[in-house]
Amino acid sequence: MLTGRRSQATIQGFEWVLGTSFYERYGSFVEVQSCKTSACIAEWSAQTGLDYQYLVIQKSGVDKKLITSLDQSYEYDVIYSTKEVLIYSLQKP
């Protein structure tokens, strides 16, 4: 961890450290990656206990409903945007 941060929704590497819990974690990754609203992401975080500060959204292949939901939410600010990717910062109270 060069940056002192980790990705909460990346599966690579967990097969070595989670053992039999790997498949449960894999299921939770699939859930969050299919979210279509900001509320779904917040619920996923609460259910898994995995906190986050940023969302990195690859525009190709993502449901546009998710981008609309994040853009309309007061909890997220776009901090970086290109044709390929959006990065949102979670604004915690």
pLDDT in tens, 37-76: 999 999 999 998 888 899 989 999 899 999 999 999 999 9
The pair phi, psi for residue 73, each rounded to 5°, is: -80, 140
pLDDT at 82 > cutoff 90? yes
Structural domain boundaries in the chain: 14-90
What pTM did the predictor assign? 0.74
DSSP 19: G
Per-residue b/e over 24-34, b at no fewer than 16 CB within 10 Å?
A: ebeebbebbee
Is 23 or 56 the better-scoring residue by pLDDT? 56
β-sheet bridge partners, residue 78: 88
Provide Rg for the chain, Cα atoms: 14
Mean pLDDT of the chain: 81
Task: For residue 16, give both structure tokens.
Answer: 């070595």
